Structure 1
Amino acid sequence: MSDGGREGMPERSGLRAAFRGMTTRGRSFLAAGIAAALCSYLLGQADLLRVGLLLAALPLVCVVVLHRTRYRIAGSRSLSPARVSAASETRVGLRLENVSRLPTGVLMLQDRVPYVLGPRPRFILDRVEAGGLREVSYRVRSDLRGRYELGPLQLRLSDPFGMCELTRSFTTFDTLTVVPRVEPLPAVGLAGEAAGYGDGRQRSPALTGEDDLIPRGYRHGDDLRRVHWRSTARHGELMVRREEQPQKARCTVLLDTRLSAHAGTGPDSPFEWAVAGAASMALHLLERGFSVRLLTDTGTAVPGPDGAGGTEAADAAGLLLDTLAMVEQSEEGGLSAAYDALRGGTEGLLVGFFGELDEEQAAVAARMRQRSGTAVAFVLDGDAWSRGVGGFRFSDGGVRSADRLRMLREAGWTALPVAPGTSLADLWRSADRAGVHPEPRAEAGFSTTAATAPRTAAGGRA
């Protein structure tokens, strides 16, 4: 729940601005009054002059009275939830409180929202008594990920005769974060997993070196072989060495954001598929205890090379989703920065979401396999996307795409093509099956539902 806070209505504007707020009805009354006064002078009709003065005075009095009205109104906004996935709705609640001693007149409440979230919501409040409270709500929805500012809240005041309307705005706003859609993925056991996965996780001592060891007090049931005699003599009580700590399995999700590697825009574009796939994969592996970081072709890593292991899963998931909500296509010409950011041989699992790869970039991606344990690549099939409903234009053809996949597979990647409408869950299962047969037939590279016999995973469940 996100709360915009409680804010009072700002100070009223000048009298000149109040006159600018005169409605069409008010201007018509004023014009009719002036015309009647002129006609009374020309025709010598005193009664017509009184009528003209009444018509002209009514809107002027309404303007002055509305300008001097001292309403004290507090408003707040709440978002539930403040972070929502694309194509999902969020509820926006508006709370208005009259903290003055006078009842208000007719109020029109309007909240500013970006165009992509829909039309501006408007509410009419007939009368709010002194100390009264009104609560209204509306819903917004976006098919495009990003961060959107809601507000500021606007109040339109009007007199009982409708002669004048004044708009007064609050100053605070709230931010709605629309993250990529996340697809649930099945638990699979990838063949050829490196040490550090599942049951094969490495274990390391709490600190290295005998002098740096931090012992703890002896507990009932501790193995006497772990007694640290030097610390026991120093503290005067039995001290034992700390247990070895399990080392978390590491995973890097690589997202290719190059503008030249993706064609088209919009929620159904190849780039948005890759962003949603990276989000789904990152959350899936976080739920299974992996230490996950997001790496882009620019070399930027989130949470970072040093912060991945110490970030709680919930915080890491929120950080990754917020980052992917705002990720944009880059002007990078290649994947060299991402290759340099990979730590040699210590990445564990590497999952790449690639766009269109030319021969040079496919060679760079192939070398990335040397800096990881198990490597899985999802490569956009440019020929299939060009033939799809969206008509996205790629310069690469199907034959060249097959060559790129072959280069990755020869380097040790489990490489699968991505066609429009392909489910990431099916691709993830296919990656598991392809891990058993590192050299599948050439035509099998374009099938995401290849049959395979049941097996026992060599590694843990991912």
Structure 2
Amino acid sequence: MGITARGIGLLGAAAVLLGVGFRYAYPELAVLGAAAAVAVGYALVTAAWRPRLTVRRVADPDRVARGEPAVMTLTVRNTGRLRAANLVAEDRCGGHLVPVPLLRLRPGRDTEVRYDVPTHRRGVVPVGPLRVIRRDPLGLAALARSYGDPVPVWVHPRIHPLRAVPTGAGRSLDGRTDSVPHGSITFDSLREYVVGDELRRVHWRTSARVGELMVRENVDTSLPRIVVVLDNRATAHPELVDGVVESFESACEAAASVVAAAAREDLPASLLLVVPAEEEATGPLDRLAAVELTGGGEDVLRTAVSRLRQERLGDTLVFLTGPGARGELGQVGALRGPYPSVVVGVFGADDPTPAGAAGLTVVDAGDGAEFAAEWDGIRRW
């Protein structure tokens, strides 16, 4: 609860009038001081009344590509039974405030407000909570309260269509490529039996040893596995213009395009960050919406490369970085052993990266659309 400047002035005047009135026996001044004090007290009691409101938000849609429209529908209902709400309210949408009219909102009634969510930048736009300001009629006191939980709107990077998809070292059995290896189904791990598993997949020897049924998990090694690594170090993307690092935004668009192309072809693909982030997002596009630049130098890249070499997550590696990391591509080139196909995308460089740098296939691009065009021009993976 806060007293406005007018209220503070009136309260100070009340104290002065009461003091002078009692000190010098002026009842008129004492009455004026008492009236001013009563007015401030009435203002505090009026502002302290807490309206009973329920807030519901619906984003349509809650996940969009950068630049696509998204609308938030806010419904505020007065669940009180005695008084109509006559309030000043505003909803927080990202870094903006949206006015919400709550004039004479009667008990049991609701009001609805629709407004556009800004999607001109990639990211997670938090919408809410609703901030309700209760003032007294004299403007002496004001109290702000929050209603409702914030709702995120995920703004994904733009996806540029890619026609070419890496075939990898393993070859699919459905005729997509030649040179099909024998024994495409390979043992991967053991797990506990669950209802519905085929009994022929039970590993009886291990089950007898541990005392419960264990089932074999197999993977299809004939399908190419694509690993997309996004360099989210600030040192790799040093150019900041108007609060936006365009090279990093282009790299995010390229990562989203590769992941979407792999999903279209039903190929397994994974998205990794050079600097892992603690985030609630699970899907790759949500992760690309939430990712931000962070600290880290060449040692962080060395750790990420070592992890990729040890885990061998796939056969096609796509490394996306900015102009600040062109001198570190030698470390990425060391992954050509575990990953038969390595493609590096460099965004925002002033001059082309030397052809065949570190023995890699390098794609220089100014933005995501240019990367898509250059990607489709790669003849051999």
TM-score normalised by L of structure 1: 0.60
Q: Give 1:278 deviation, angstroms.
A: 1.2
Deviations 1:329-382 (A, max 9, x none): 441305433433136877222222233477873333223222223332223463
Matches within 5 A, 1:36-55: 52=32
**DSSP 3-state at the match of 2:330:** helix
- Identify unmatched segments of 5+ residues in structure 1: 1-16, 217-242, 303-316, 385-397, 439-462
1:272–1:160 CA distance, 2 compared to 1 (3 A): same
User: What does residue 36 of structure 2 align with?
Assistant: 56
- What amino acid is the match of 1:167? A
Pick from 103, 108, 118: which aligns with 2:88?
108
TM-align CA RMSD: 4.4
Q: Which runs of 5+ in 2 are unaligned?
A: 189-197, 202-217
Partner SS, residue 271 of structure 1: helix
Q: Shift of the alpha carbon at 1:107?
A: 0.6
* 1:280 and 2:274 aligned: no
Amino acid of the structure 2 residue aligned with 1:424: F
Aligned mates of 2:233, 2:339 — CA distance in 1:
22
Corresponding residue for residue 75 of structure 2: 95
Residues 102, 294 of structure 1: alpha-carbon distance in 2 compared, 3 angstrom cutoff: same
Q: Distance in 2 between matches of 1:69 and 1:351?
A: 59
- State whether structure 2 residue 302 is matched by structure 1 residue 336: yes
Q: Tell me: CA distance 1:342–1:295, structure 2 relative to 1, closer, same or farther (3 Å).
A: farther
Change (3 A) 1:175 1:357: closer
Alpha-carbon spacing, 1:417–1:95, altered in 2? closer, same or farther (3 Å): same
Would you say 1:353 and 2:312 are equivalent positions? no
CA shift for structure 1 position 105: 4.2
CA distance, structure 2, for counterparts of residue 428 and residue 110 of structure 1: 46
**Structure 2 CA distance for partners of 1:248 and 1:343, relative to 1, 3 Å:** farther
**Which of the pair has more CA radius of gyration?**
1
1:175-254 equivalence runs, <5 A:
175-179=152-156, 181-188=157-164, 193-197=168-172, 199-200=176-177, 204-205=184-185, 214-215=199-200, 247-254=222-229
Q: Distance in 2 between the 1:359 and 1:174 partners?
A: 39
| Shift, 1:63, TM fit | 1.6
Give the Å deviation of 1:66. 0.8
Distance 1:350 1:51 in 2: 83
Deviations 1:373-416 (A, max 9, x none): 333222346324xxxxxxxxxxxxx5xx32xx3234xx3x4322
Q: Is the 8 A contact 1:118 1:141 kept in 2?
A: no
Give the whole-Å Cα distance in 2 for the aligned partners of 1:259 and 1:244.
37
Residues 343 and 286 (structure 1 numbering): CA distance in 2 closer, same or farther, change over 3 Å? farther
Q: SS where residue 278 of structure 1 aligns?
A: helix
| Deviation of 1:55 (Å) | 6.4
Per-residue CA deviations over 1:101-153 (Å, capped at 9, x if unaligned) read 2122421112344xxx3421222322121222222233331544344544332
Q: TM-score, normalised by structure 2?
A: 0.71
Residue aligning to 1:326: 291
Q: Deviations over 1:227-247 (max 9, x none)?
A: xxxxxxxxxxxxxxxx99685
Give the counterpart of 1:364 among 323, 331, 334: 331
1:262 and 2:227 correspond: no
Asked whether the 8 Å contact 1:104–1:128 carries over to 2, the reply is yes
Counterpart for residue 449 of structure 1: none
- Quickly say closer, same or farther: Cα 1:163–1:342, change in 2 above 3 A: same
Question: Take 2:20 and 2:310, find their aligned partners in 1: how far apart are those partners?
Answer: 91
Relative to structure 1, is the Cα distance of residues 421 and 301 closer, same or farther in structure 2, using a 3 angstrom cutoff?
closer
In the superposition, relative to structure 1, how do residues 65 and 383 fare at CA in structure 2: closer, same or farther (>3 Å)? closer
- Matched with 2:192 is none
- Give the Cα–Cα distance (whole angstroms) in 1 for the partners of residues 185 and 121 of structure 2: 46
Select the residue among 128, 133, 143 that pairs with 1:151.
128
Identity %: 23
